[in-house]
Amino acid sequence: MRLRILAMTMLMGMTMMTGESKAAPLDGLRWKNRVLVVVGSPTDPAVAEQRRIYRAAGEGMTERSIVLTEALDGSERSRQIRSWLDADGKRFQAFLVGKDGHTAISSDKPLSADYLFGKVDAMPMRRDEMRRAR
Can you tell me whether residue 55 is helix, strand or coil? helix
Average pLDDT of 18-41?
81
Stretch (H or E) spanning 66: strand 66-71
- 5 pLDDT exceeds 60? no
How many CB atoms within 10 Å of residue 40? 23
8 A C-beta contact, residue 64 and residue 36: no
**Radius of gyration of the chain from Cα atoms?**
19
Tell me the per-residue pLDDT of 36-45, one tens digit each, with 9 for 90 and over. Answer: 999 999 999 9
- 3 pLDDT exceeds 90? no
Domains and CATH numbers, the chain: 24-133 (3.40.30.10)
Confidence of residue 133 (pLDDT cuts 50, 70, 90): confident
Stretch (H or E) spanning 5: helix 2-17
Distance CA 43, CA 51 (A): 12
Q: Percentage of the chain with pLDDT > 70?
A: 83
Tell me the per-residue pLDDT of 98-130, one tens digit each, with 9 for 90 and over. Answer: 999 999 999 999 999 999 999 999 998 899 888
Q: What is the pLDDT of residue 14?
A: 38
